């Protein structure tokens, strides 16, 4: 990808110091419309299918974890355009530098009073919050102070689009990795929000009749997160290999040790390619099923969930097995290798992909 001339590793180190994506990267993202992978072309987006978008996300995550992750989460939030009123979608996405960040946490309450909501709450882990123009937030609904419950007695939840100037960003990202994602918390108090800035992420609630908005959100999220983990793994494996051969120049390992490393590296890359191939096969099958039938069977959705989790588990295992070959150099906190290792061991903790089933 030609744009990697601008998206260089010097800027990756700069991004970590800044705690957010640098302007040089943002300029490329706006130009390439990467925050709008799933936004229709009619709204100046790329209008990609899920398989097409995953390949973009994988490549960017392999270059830099924070870059790929931020882009993926913000593009995922922009996917919500399919569930917004047409006029609101046109208003928001008329800005060429629009960026939505959001949180899946139900951290607020929205009280409907007449023709507006009164929103209060705080939300965590909004990747890209520092350069977002809008943020999405999940809230339990009330009506004139009374909680709304569904038929099962559970709180009714809706998502809301909040403008950047309507929220306060809280410095809540103090983790060892993915530092440049700027995944901070945010809050708002007694905010008056018009009714049309609320929405529900359900296929039957989609306002745009394109297949991407019929793809169930759980598997959409699992697949996009898993492909980031794979991309970061490719980056980490390359750096581990480079570190081993650099050590070998000075230590001159016995031939049997060199052969052992070569075999382990070959096995690792073969396993990664095999699980990657199966992952894309399952996702592409689900996409074909959606286009042909207008929906995806439960069996196919289970297969997408399974391969996303299986691929994540394989990355965890293989990275742990190969990391010792990098040597103590990998523990130097200022190196690219250490940054990528920290990114992997942060992002692979995501709760959605913790369990293998």
Indicate the helix (H) or strand (E) that contains 194.
strand 184-194
Rounded mean pLDDT, 34-61: 98
Locus of tokens 């793994």: 233
With contact defined as beta carbons under 8 Å apart, do 308 and 225 qualify? Answer: yes
With contact defined as beta carbons under 8 Å apart, do 21 and 70 qualify? Answer: yes
Please, how many CA atoms are within 13 Å of residue 75, restricted to the half-sphere of its CB?
A: 33
Residue 4 binned pLDDT confidence (cut-offs 50, 70, 90): low
With contact defined as beta carbons under 8 Å apart, do 95 and 68 qualify? Answer: no
pLDDT digits (tens, 9 = 90+) for 145-197: 999 999 999 999 999 999 999 999 998 789 999 999 999 999 999 999 999 99
CA-to-CA distance for 217 and 347, rounded, in angstroms?
A: 19
Of 39-43, 62-66, 104-108, 248-252, give the lowest mean pLDDT range.
Answer: 248-252
CA-to-CA distance for 298 and 241, rounded, in angstroms?
A: 41
CA-to-CA distance for 257 and 345, rounded, in angstroms?
A: 27
Rounded mean pLDDT, 88-111: 95
Q: Which residues contact 141 (CB under 8 A, 6 or more apart)?
A: 109, 110, 111, 112, 147, 148, 155, 156, 157, 158
Tokens standing for residue 29:
């993202």
CA-to-CA distance for 160 and 28, rounded, in angstroms?
A: 28
pLDDT digits (tens, 9 = 90+) for 112-123: 999 999 999 999
pLDDT digits (tens, 9 = 90+) for 282-335: 999 999 999 999 999 999 999 999 999 999 999 999 999 999 999 998 999 999
Burial of 350 per CB tally in 10 Å (0-12, 13-18, 19+): middle
CA-to-CA distance for 353 and 84, rounded, in angstroms?
A: 28
Whether residue 2 is predicted with pLDDT greater than 70 in this model: the reply is no
With contact defined as beta carbons under 8 Å apart, do 69 and 118 qualify? Answer: no
CA-to-CA distance for 306 and 313, rounded, in angstroms?
A: 10
pLDDT digits (tens, 9 = 90+) for 244-286: 999 998 888 999 999 999 999 999 999 999 999 999 999 999 9
Q: How many helical (H) and strand (E) elements, i.e. helices and strands, does the chain have?
A: 9, 8
Tokens standing for residue 251:
């230590």
Q: What is the mean pLDDT of the chain?
A: 95
Tokens standing for residue 160:
């809301």
Q: Which domains occur in the chain, in start order? A: 2-83 (1.10.540.10), 100-202 (2.40.110.10), 215-353 (1.20.140.10)
Beta bridge partners of 323: none
Q: Which residues contact 195 (CB under 8 A, 6 or more apart)?
A: 112, 115, 116, 117
Whether residue 1 is predicted with pLDDT greater than 60 in this model: the reply is no
pLDDT digits (tens, 9 = 90+) for 184-211: 999 999 999 999 999 999 999 999 999 9
Residues 37-72: b if buried by 16+ CB within 10 A, e if exposed: bbbbeebebbbbbbeebbebbbebbbbbbbbbbbbb
Tokens standing for residue 47:
């209008």
């Amino acid at each position: 990808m030609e744009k990697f001339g601008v998206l260089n590793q010097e800027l990756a180190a700069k991004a970590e110091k800044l705690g957010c994506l640098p302007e040089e990267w943002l300029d490329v993202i706006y130009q390439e419309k990467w925050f709008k992978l799933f936004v229709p072309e009619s709204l100046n987006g790329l209008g990609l299918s899920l398989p097409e978008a995953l390949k973009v996300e994988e490549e960017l995550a392999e270059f830099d974890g924070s870059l790929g992750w931020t882009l993926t989460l913000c593009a995922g939030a922009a996917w919500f355009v399919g569930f917004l009123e047409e006029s609101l979608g046109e208003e928001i996405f008329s800005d060429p530098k629009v960026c939505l960040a959001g949180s899946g946490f139900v951290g607020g309450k929205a009280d409907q009073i007449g023709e507006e909501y009164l929103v209060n709450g705080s939300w965590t882990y909004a990747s890209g919050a520092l350069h977002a123009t809008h943020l999405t937030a999940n809230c339990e609904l009330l009506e004139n102070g009374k909680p709304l419950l569904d038929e099962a007695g559970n709180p009714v939840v809706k998502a809301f689009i909040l403008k950047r100037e309507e929220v306060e960003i809280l410095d809540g990202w103090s983790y060892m990795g993915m530092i440049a994602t700027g995944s901070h918390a945010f809050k708002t108090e007694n905010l008056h929000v018009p009714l049309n800035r609320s929405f529900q992420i359900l296929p039957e609630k989609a306002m745009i009749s394109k297949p991407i908005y019929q793809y169930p959100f759980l598997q959409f999220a699992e697949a996009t997160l898993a492909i980031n983990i794979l991309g970061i793994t490719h980056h980490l494996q390359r750096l581990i290999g480079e570190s081993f051969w650099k050590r070998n120049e000075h230590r001159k390992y016995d031939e049997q040790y060199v052969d052992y490393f070569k075999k382990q590296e070959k096995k690792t890359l073969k396993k990664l390619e095999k699980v990657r191939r199966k992952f894309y096969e399952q996702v592409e099958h689900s996409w074909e099923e959606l286009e042909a039938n207008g929906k995806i069977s439960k069996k196919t959705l289970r297969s997408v969930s399974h391969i996303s989790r299986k691929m994540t588990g394989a990355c965890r295992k293989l990275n742990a097995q190969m990391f010792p070959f990098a040597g103590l150099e990998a523990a130097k906190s200022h190196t690219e290798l250490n940054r990528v290792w920290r990114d992997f061991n942060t992002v692979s903790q995501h709760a959605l992909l913790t369990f293998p089933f």
